[in-house]
Amino acid sequence: MTAQPTDIATYNFAYLDEQTKRMIRRAILKGIAIPGYQVPFASREMPMPYGWGTGGVQVTASIIGPDDVLKVIDQGADDTTNAVSIRAFFKKVANVAVTTDTAAATIIQTRHRIPEHPLTAGQVLVYQVPIPEPLRFLEPRETETRKMHALEEYGLMHVKLYEDIAKHGRIATTYAYPVKVEGRYVMDPSPTPKFDNPKMHRSPALQLFGAGREKRIYAVPPFTDVVSLDFEDHPFEVQTFDQPCALCAAENVYLDEVILDDHGGHMFVCSDTDYCEKRRADGHRGHLAPETDLAPGNMEPAR
Amino acid sequence: MYVAVKGGEAAIANAHSLLADRRRGDRSVPALRLDQIVEQLALGVDRVMSEGSLYDRELAALAIVQARGDMIEAIFLVRAYRTTLPRFGYSSPIDTSAMLVERRVSATYKDLPGGQLLGPTFDYTHRLLDPELAAGADVAEPLQRTGEAEAMPRVSAILAREGLIEPDGDMPQDHIPGDITREPLEFPMARDIRLQALSRGDEGFLLALGYSTQRGYARNHPFVGEIRIGEVQLELDVPELPFAVPLGTVRVTECQMVNQFKGSAKAPPQFTRGYGLVFGQSERKAMAMALCDRALRASELGEDIVAAAQDEEFVISHSDNVQATGFVEHLKLPHYVDFQAELDLVRRMRAEYEARENPPKAEEKKDAAE
Amino acid sequence: MDIAAQSIEGGFADPVFNAQTVFRAVMDAMARPGTVQPLPALARPPAPFSATSGAIALALCDNDTPLWLDPALHASAAIGSWLGFHTGAPLANTSADAHFAFVATPAEMMALDGFSQGTQDYPDRSTTLVLQVGDLVSGTPLLLEGPGIETNATIAPAQMPRHFVEQWKQNNKRFPRGVDIVLATSEGVACLPRTTRIKTMGA
């Protein structure tokens, strides 16, 4: 091979060709019109592996325009490697502005979290979804689950949740906790912790879900009822933490456990890094916060 | 003191330059050229073309060297490129009976029109490592055939004259062949769609499934009716022109498996067929594909579905190695948000368990329950 | 201008970004029924096909989407060849085969249930109707509720189909099957997805 790149392989602008974008855009419109219903779409191979956000990337690539400001998070953080990689992909192929500031973003692509800062009208939250079918682990066959959705036959899901209660005294599902959308379709919220489920309910933002490997797109329009499945005697409840964030002292947020040493020392910090940094910039200090802090939004190593 | 980890971007860049370094290896060893890979690792190139669903030897060779020889990674590279290419049209069906044959064997007839033609095969080589090859010994130029080759009708056509084998599957007149790269899969699927999925399916997965049918998991009594490898013409119908436009030739391997069949409520006793067709030279893949195709025709032929190889949704949903590798490998991405949720649940349940197993004394009871 | 020239002129000046602009307007309108998403005139199709309807066709239609044109549009050979040239979309054999239906005179259009409603298994396989209406303020006011609407919203599209409110109630009842409507005016677009419930004002 010569050192000069050859023209052996070239790629389209914004990676997806226009025909693919049209196909995905049509699926998105149907998804919005039928909240919670999984629209089949001819998912393409993307230049990142299946299971690493190809569905979310295809949705984002199909909606994004030159005026958009993109934020990408993984586990709530902007600087996890896969979030960095996806953000860099869009910077490279679509030349869009990127941000870590939740409030400044017009499109937020996420894996496993909904930001703590409340979303607003006009924002679009794009979820990366591994297994879009909420009934999949109860019934592995697509032919069967499709029938169940068609007939609104969700008894199996209630039986599963009830068996949990009988066996464990509680519903033992902590993430990807199933929801019912607008009183019709049972939907998988993607593997977000159930802590985030209430944020989906009547959110002012448009929520789009992309599952690349499984070839499904679905949506929750703004101000749409999203109700976590539960029972009268066992109402849905979210995780609570016994202590506030060790860095910014925030309460009622989702915390990650960080191991500090090999003697059982640990601390709990915000999983949403942007939220945590903003609070620290505003002067909030947790009990383990360093004296001088990183500048908020600084993506580079502090050296 | 704790400082949150930062610097994902720099870490990724550094990892990729180390990858580039390792890919190149010892600089005193000459770098591979694509033509060397195309010429000398041709079956690897064929597999990448076949499972990458893109007939381009040079790109497949580039993918192999870029992937450091990791075949699934190379297939992935080719697929991700293929998907961006514009679609100009669909070629006419290739005619394998008009193939320029380099290898053709049948296990069902000792001799047949056109004869048995061993071609470039590993069969009957003694698998002894060759020190001369390691020393770079020259290879003699091959002999050239003189005169025209005899016509080679397909074995399935020979059997069909007696009416003992099922005919070629016929699709309705207005049937438009599906395209698994443009439409989401839907179950149950038509055979044209299923064959496309099998043809780009993972060689190892199909091999194991085909093997399982031989060991009694949906045994279907196969004979190799014929395997043929060679070049076929590719033609495109252009509405403005009265004839099909030749685009060139592609090399393919075709396997027609002939299977005994005792008849069912749906079909009379006859020989049935399993079909395999892949880009390039890959007998193993074409044969495994033919075994799986036949097994997957169970419901069409009124057979009981008793084994994995007959289960269309199971086989097709898991045959794509690019999908499989992505999802298996995604487990190494961070999952600590969900793990935290599970950790919390297990801690609570464990505390309850401990409280049940070792009931605290009356005065301690209140604390433990919280 | 002859038909051949008309069919070639009037496409997107910048196909990638124009298509994105039109799609985002339709997406936002579909996500927030009752809002009007402004759109500049990005396409110049032959009359009576409107600039907004034409832009929607360019943004969303291609050879995978059979189209149905109402008699007013169908009568113009120039419109058919304009759509063919710019989108490659085939004309649907019947309204029930159409992925998209374009309607220039909604007041005279056929009943909504004459279009594909999708199936219970695949409710997405339904026709999306694009209706050219004069404006969204001079018709009978429609009070809207449903997903995408915080409390309620009002639009008053002019020249809507006959018995529209009654027809739309029937459309709601078919959920999850049903058609979705894009209302195209010279100002922009508004949408009525099948989830939107309509109450006439004062009714």
Percentage of residues of chain C with pLDDT beyond 90 = 93
pLDDT of residue B268: 80
Q: What is the three-class DSSP state of C12? A: coil
For chain A, positions 57-116, list CB contacts with chain B under 8 A.
74-76, 79-85, 88, 111-113
Region for residue C167 given its phi and psi (left: phi exceeds 0; alpha: psi -120 to 50; beta: otherwise)? alpha
| SS3 track for C83-131 | HHHHHCCCECCCHHHCCEEEECCHHHCCCHHHCCECCCCCCCCECEEEE
Give the confidence band of A94 by pLDDT, cuts at 50, 70, 90: confident
* pLDDT per residue as tens digits for the range A264-281: 888 999 999 999 999 999
Q: What is the pTM of this model?
A: 0.89
Residue C166 above 50 pLDDT?
yes
Whether the CB-CB separation of B279 and B313 falls below 8 Å is answered with no
Mean pLDDT score, A208-232: 97
Size of interface A-C (CB pairs under 8 A): 108
Residues of chain A found within 8 Å of residue C17, distances taken between Cβ atoms: 65-66
B229: enclosing H helix or E strand: strand B222-237
Strands (E), A143-283: 179-181, 185-187, 206-211, 216-220, 226-228, 255-259, 266-270
Nearest-neighbour CA in chain B from A191: distance (Å): 7
C83 vs C130: CA distance, rounded Å: 14
Q: Which of C30, C171, C194 to mutate to test the interface with A (most CBs of A within 10 A)?
A: C30
**Least confident residue range of A172-181, B137-146, B353-362:** B353-362
Mean pLDDT score, C49-54: 97
C42 vs C13: CA distance, rounded Å: 8
The torsion angles phi and psi of B251, rounded to 5 degrees, stand at: -95, 130
The torsion angles phi and psi of C117, rounded to 5 degrees, stand at: -100, 0
Query: Has A169 been annotated as catalytic?
Result: no
Q: What is the three-class DSSP state of C153? A: strand
Mean pLDDT score, B54-68: 98
Query: What residue type is assigned to position C7 of the chain?
Result: S
C83 vs B52: CA distance, rounded Å: 35
- A245 vs B349, higher pLDDT: A245
Pairing of strands A124-128, A216-220: unpaired
CB contact under 8 A, A1 and B185: no
Mean pLDDT score, B249-265: 91
pLDDT of residue A301: 37
Residues of chain A found within 8 Å of residue B325, distances taken between Cβ atoms: 49-50
- B42 vs B182, higher pLDDT: B42
* pLDDT per residue as tens digits for the range B88-116: 788 999 999 999 999 999 998 888 888 89
Q: Please give the angle made by the CA atoms of C16, C22 and C25, to the nearest 5 degrees.
A: 140
**Least confident residue range of A224-228, A296-300, B243-247, B269-273:** A296-300
Give the confidence band of B261 by pLDDT, cuts at 50, 70, 90: confident
* pLDDT per residue as tens digits for the range B295-321: 999 999 889 999 999 999 999 999 999
A58 vs A127: CA distance, rounded Å: 11
Give the confidence band of B2 by pLDDT, cuts at 50, 70, 90: very low
Distances (CA, A) of B190 to A42, A73, A111, B171: 17, 40, 35, 10
pLDDT of residue B7: 66
pLDDT of residue B1: 42
pLDDT of residue B145: 80
Mean pLDDT score, C193-198: 98
Residue A191 above 90 pLDDT?
yes
pLDDT of residue B369: 44
**Arithmetic mean of pLDDT over chain A:** 91
Give the confidence band of A292 by pLDDT, cuts at 50, 70, 90: low
CB contact under 8 A, A65 and C24: yes
**Arithmetic mean of pLDDT over chain C:** 94
ipTM of the complex: 0.97
Interface of C with A (CB under 8 A): 15-17, 19-21, 23-24, 26-28, 30-32, 59-62, 64-65, 99, 119-124, 126, 128, 147-150, 175-176, 180, 193-195
Give the confidence band of C60 by pLDDT, cuts at 50, 70, 90: very high
> What angle, 0 to 180 degrees and rounded to 10, lies between the N-to-C axes of helices B71-82 and B321-329?
110
Percentage of residues of chain B with pLDDT beyond 90 = 63
C67 vs C116: CA distance, rounded Å: 12
Give the confidence band of B127 by pLDDT, cuts at 50, 70, 90: very high
Give the confidence band of A297 by pLDDT, cuts at 50, 70, 90: very low
Mean pLDDT score, B44-65: 98
Residue A126 above 80 pLDDT?
yes
C36 vs C29: CA distance, rounded Å: 7
Whether the CB-CB separation of B227 and B120 falls below 8 Å is answered with no
Percentage of residues of chain B with pLDDT beyond 70 = 95
Whether the CB-CB separation of A70 and A107 falls below 8 Å is answered with yes
Mean pLDDT score, B60-82: 97
B13 vs B95: CA distance, rounded Å: 49
Whether the CB-CB separation of A213 and A50 falls below 8 Å is answered with yes
Q: Which of B3, B333, B346 to mutate to test the interface with A (most CBs of A within 10 A)?
A: B333
